[in-house]
Amino acid sequence: MFGRRCAIASGPISFDTIVEASGLEAGTVSSILLQLELLGLVSLKQGLKTPVILS
């Protein structure tokens, strides 16, 4: 998709793991996660920067 590996986690995954695995800058990942959250595709756990894919 972005010339990088793509994966879908079956459970919570840390922000740092996403940044490391994607090779993108933290600000870019944060922006993408915000867009996904606004679309209802990702949810952040209370108090943690852990995105979770919703079913």
pLDDT, one tens digit per residue, over 2-44 is 445 555 666 778 888 888 888 999 999 889 988 988 888 887 7
Confidence tier at 55 by pLDDT (50, 70, 90): very low
Q: At what angle do helices 15-22 and 26-38 cross, to 10 degrees?
A: 120
Measured CA distances, 5 to 2, 9, 20 (Å): 8, 13, 11
pLDDT of residue 27: 94
pLDDT of residue 44: 73
Closest CA to 29 of 16, 46, 39, 42: 16
Q: What DSSP designation does 39 have?
A: T
